[in-house]
Amino acid sequence: MSGASTSGTLAPDLISIPQAAERLGLHPDTLYRLARTGQFPPAVQIGAKWLVSVPRLDRFLHGEASP
């Protein structure tokens, strides 16, 4: 099964901005600002919520272009 589960957890390849910020050692507000301005391409906005694609985050961190 893909997508959100009945327990409310996200798909394994999607994490929240605060979770991504923790992985990167940044403040969540910094990532929200970068996402809103298009400077953090691993983040995608779904409705009012921002999510981060883990595969895209890995590519971003390794300097690879995101599709």
pLDDT in tens, 15-37: 999 999 999 999 999 999 999 99
In angstroms, rounded to a whole number, what is the distance separating the alpha carbons of residues 42 and 49?
A: 14
How many distinct structural domains can be found in the chain? Answer: 1
Please tell me the pTM assigned to this model.
0.75
Classify residue 9: in a domain, yes or no: no
Q: Is the pLDDT of residue 51 over 90?
A: yes
Classify residue 66: in a domain, yes or no: no
Between 1 and 54, residue with greater pLDDT: 54
Classify residue 7: in a domain, yes or no: no
Q: Is the pLDDT of residue 6 over 70?
A: no
Q: What is the dihedral of CA 37, 15, 22, 35, to 10 degrees?
A: 0
Range name among 10-14, 18-22, 36-40 with the lowest pLDDT average? 10-14
Between 10 and 41, residue with greater pLDDT: 41
Classify residue 24: in a domain, yes or no: yes
